[in-house]
Structure 1
Amino acid sequence: MKIDQNLVAFITGASSGFGLEVAKDLLEKGCRCYLTDRDNIDSEFLTRYPKNIVIFRNLDVTDEEGIKNAIEDCVAQFGQIDVVLNSAGVNIPAYLSITDQKFSPLLINKCFNINVIGTFNVSKYAALQMVKQQNKAQEKKDYLIVNVGSVASFNSNNGMSIYGASKGAVAAMTLPMARDLGRYGIRVVCMCPGIFDTPMGKSAPENLYKATARGTCLGRHGHPSEFSHAFQGIVESTFMNGNHFFLDSSFATPSL
């Protein structure tokens, strides 16, 4: 799959972090991008590009009907969807303790509704559209869904039971998704980043943020541009499918 003006990308969590960085790089290469987020995006950013190549819509991925409408709107605006990046996510740290009232069903539901069910529903409606496109194509095309897991999918720190469980589910759903959708030419890959210089990463206490940098082989956190470069590599590597990989500089989580 080529990254050029013929590519249409649907991105969740696009107002900041990984989603925004990927959007910037794709737009610079002429791709058309349908950007969504629960939070508003920087309006000045949108003015840098022609309106016929970038669209932003507010979308809460816990709203299944909203997801369906956004997919339909993307197709109405751009005619197709080729690539999906499921980067909408939330981190809810909570220590498992009988005295910690933060560890509640409400927090568990919020984290799973956004990270797991939201990712699944975006993938489902995008895949349905991709199948329609494949059926109309004169020759088989390559389509791609990229889920965003985490190093916490398999190596969570203490206080990360809820988040780790949700991201573990995202990683676990990737392979069966790929097996279900491969016959339609739809690839599914899961990126599992470590700690990056994103708003989510920087939300950690300063001492913890510095400690996690020391836990990588390079002694630093990742930059969002490095995530974007890896994402673009997946887009272009058309035999990469059904797998997850770490983008974490071999991060070894200490007990903090």
Structure 2
Amino acid sequence: MKIEGRTFVVSGGASGLGRACVRDICRLGGNVVILDMNEELGPALIKELGAGSAKFLVCDVSDTGSIASAVMPTVSWIKETGKPLGGIIPAAGVGRPGLILNKANEPVPLSQIDFVLSINLRGTLDLVRQFLPALATSPPFSSDNERGVIVMVSSSAAFDGQMGQVAYAASKGAVASMTLPMARDLSRFGIRVVTVAPSMFESAMTAGMSDKVRKGLEKAMEFPARAGKPEEFSALVRHAIENVMLNGVVIRLDGATRMPSKL
């Protein structure tokens, strides 16, 4: 699918990996609706890209009403620009580590589990669910009658989560697990589903890491022995959009890194 002439919805698009995707899509002639809670970074990115190619809407993906309130403005903007919806990229995510049972014999608070699941899993699924009717009615193109693509974000923690990552690994593992059944559900509409599972990348989530933790993680890496760059993540997302044969698959983007149990 060509990015040019299509509109994409990107949650968590004001920073980190989502922002890199937004920049790539706009550079290639697509439009983007940026959904994010950051009311400083969002407008700043719009100013950088130009209002003609991007639109910012405040949205909390853990709140189903907040997502619903973003659907109609998106559909209206698509009608104004004449660039039909071509993809949904739920890139909003959080990581809040915590041992399921700590040294004081206290279980992790359920509120902490709910916080991670509500954004990483429920927020991903709800965002896709609510924007799908618009994507399913986009005009098909090419001999394959493709309408669009959903590119979800899992994590290497889905496969080799570390100590303290039970909730995070559960949320990202679920995203990976729903890739194939979602692709099967949507195949009759000409909609593909691809999931990218990155390891440690430069993002808002990893910015607060201590040097000790960062160096410990780098020791577990093969090649390259560094955190991934947002542009390297967006390059794979771009390919997932453009390559019609990528469907129902989870792609690890981790430089052969396999995380140890603990640092």
TM-score tier, shorter chain, comes to over 0.9
Return closer, same or farther for 1:191/1:48 CA change in 2, 3 Å cut-off.
same
1:173 Cα offset (Å)? 1.1
CA distance, structure 2, for counterparts of residue 166 and residue 239 of structure 1: 26
**Structure 1 segments of 4 or more deviating over 3 A?**
134-139
Gaps of 5+ in 2: none
- Partner of 1:133: helix, strand, or coil? coil
The gaps in structure 1 that reach 5 residues or longer are none
Distance in 2, matches of 1:51 and 1:102, equals 47
What does 1:68-217 correspond to in 2, within 5 Å? Answer: 68-79=68-79, 80-98=84-102, 99=104, 101=106, 103-134=108-139, 140-217=145-222
* Contact 1:81 1:126 (8 Å CA) reproduced: no
Match of 2:67 in 1: 67
- Supply the RMSD in Å over aligned alpha carbons: 2.0
Q: CA separation of 1:138/1:190 partners in 2, compared to 1, >3 Å: closer, same or farther?
A: closer
Q: TM-score, normalised by structure 1?
A: 0.93
Give the whole-Å Cα distance in 2 for the aligned partners of 1:115 and 1:95: 18
Size of the aligned set, in residue pairs, is 255
Q: Matched residues, percent identical?
A: 29
Cα pair distance change 1:39/1:238, threshold 3 Å: same
Q: Is the 8 A contact 1:195 1:201 kept in 2?
A: yes
In the other structure, the counterpart of 1:45 is 45
Q: How does 1:3-42 map to 2 (within 5 A)?
A: 3-4=3-4, 6-40=5-39, 41-42=41-42
Say if 2:23 and 2:49, in contact at 8 Å, map to a contact too. Answer: no
Shift of 1:28: 1.7
* 2:238 maps to 1:228: no
SS of the counterpart of 2:193? strand
Cα distance 1:87–1:102, how it changes in 2: closer, same or farther (>3 A)? Answer: farther
Partner of 2:248: 242
Length-normalised TM-score, structure 2: 0.91
